[in-house]
Amino acid sequence: MIEVLLVLIVTALATSVPGVFLVLRGLSMTTDAISHTILLGIVLAFFMTNDIRSPWLIIAASIIGIATVYIIELVSRTQLVRQDAAIGLVFTALFAAAIVLISKYSGNAHLDMDVVLMGEVLFAPFNRIDVFGFSIPAALWQLSIIMFVNFAFIALFYKELKLTTFDPKFAFIAGFSATLIYYALMTLVSVTAVAAFDAVGSILVINFFVAPALTAYLLVRRLSAMIWLSMLFAVWNSVIGYIIGFSYDLSIAGVTSFTALVTFMAVFIFSPDGWLNGKLRALRQKRTFTRAMILMLMNEHGHTRLTAGEITSHFNLNQKQFDNHMEHLLINDYIEKKNGQYTLTERGEEYTHYTRSKYELPI
């Protein structure tokens, strides 16, 4: 069964590397559209060849994939339809056409919709071919080739991909065609998506493309790091997905996709620049600021002696917040309490000077 894991990992690696550029170019949903519409290509080619293993299926599907990108661009370039709406319109129309064709003409043919849409990586080892005398799953062989083509493309055109993604206008001036790079990338994406169908199905393939890249995006400062880290997350998600899916007899691709979200959310929440740290920092800043403001108020004329009531109403504090702040200020010896009134200590007064310069307030 190690072959199943291998197919899964190779699929994840082949998809996640181009995925980095899809994420950075805002093409995630365009890729989702492609992964649905290539079904139309598969169906059309299947009717012509009547062979689910025919290479024509991959070719036709890729052509439809590129056509999808082109039609979306054509529709949104009229400026009559927004790009996101164009994506939604085009992929549903082509997908609906595919479903109608399947239900109308393939009554007894072996084109199982569920397998195409859902994929099943567990079936991958059943279809084998001989390579250099070894019998390996056809999907593994096919996806490995595609993985190396993708790696080679990105290694070779790294500079061009980087430039056209970051600043397409400058790329044009520098003599690199952003359009050429774009369509080359989308051709590879289409081919990869078709090949990945067997293993993960057309709906989840988008997850394999973008989830690792999105997770890496949260952590990195450089493009090269994003690519390496995406590959790492791709393998991680696959291994976890495989172990859980296999142990509990669940859809492996499904579990892998959901694992990808869990991984993403974990990084999103707990990373150094993440959600949790952001919230805590904001909370700390607000607390420090409120305390500084209380001290500064006591430093003003006519406010040197304040009662608890005056402070709570001035800063709109509830009793718990008030107790918390006052305890902190008393322990640190910034203020003292006499006859139910609070006054600044010398240390507290010094602190207000520091505060004024910190927040750039007039002294």
Rule CB under 8 A: which of 200-219 touch other proteins? Answer: 203-204, 206-207, 209-211, 214, 217-218
275 lies in the site for other proteins, by CB under 8 A: yes
Strands 134-137 and 335-338: unpaired
257 lines the binding site for other proteins (CB under 8 A): yes
- Short-list 244, 216, 218, CA closest to 230: 216
- Is residue 134 within 8 A of residue 3, CB to CB? The reply is no
Task: Figure out which of the listed residues 1, 2, 80, 331 binds other proteins, where binding follows CB under 8 A.
Answer: 80
Instruction: Indicate whether 31 belongs to the interface with other proteins (CB under 8 A).
Output: yes
The CA distance from 166 to 316, in Å, is: 47
- Does position 247 interact with other proteins (CB under 8 A)? The reply is no
Which residue, 39 or 326, is less far from other proteins as judged by CB? 39
For residue 315, give both structure tokens: 């800063």
Residue whose C-alpha is closest to residue 36's, from 68, 73, 76: 68
Considering the complex, state which of residue 193 and residue 294 has its C-beta at the smaller distance from other proteins: 193
Question: What is the footprint of other proteins within residues 166-205 (CB under 8 A)?
Answer: 166-167, 169-176, 203-204
Residue 267 C-beta: closest distance to other proteins, Å: 10
Among 248, 318, 338, 362, binds other proteins (CB under 8 A): 248
| Strand pairing class (134-137; 341-344) | unpaired
Q: How far is the CB of 361 from other proteins (least distance, A)?
A: 20
Q: Interface residues for other proteins in 286-345 (CB under 8 A)?
A: none
Closest CA to 65 of 195, 191, 178, 206: 191
- Which residue lies nearer to other proteins by CB, 145 or 225? 225
> What is the spatial distance between Cα 233 and Cα 211, in angstroms, rounded to a whole number?
9
Shortest distance in whole angstroms from residue 144 CB to other proteins: 23
Kindly state whether residue 10 participates in binding other proteins, applying the rule CB under 8 A: no
> Quick check: 217 and 16 in contact, CB under 8 A?
no
Does residue 112 interact with other proteins by CB under 8 A?
A: no
Distance CA 359, CA 355 (A): 6
CA distances from 324 to 168, 288, 317, 330 (A): 54, 12, 10, 10
Question: Distance between CA 15 and CA 119 in Å, rounded?
Answer: 15
Q: In whole angstroms, how close is the CB of 291 to other proteins at the nearest point?
A: 26
Distance from C-alpha of 68 to C-alpha of 270, rounded to nearest angstrom = 38
Q: Which of 238, 251, 352, 355 binds other proteins (CB under 8 A)?
A: 251
Q: Which residues ranging from 116 to 135 are in contact with other proteins (CB under 8 A)?
A: 117-118
Residue with Cβ nearer other proteins (2 or 80): 80
Enumerate residues 48-77 that contact other proteins by CB under 8 A: 75
Nearer to other proteins, 141 or 246 (CB): 246
Please work out the total of residues on this chain that contact other proteins, with binding judged by CB under 8 A: 85
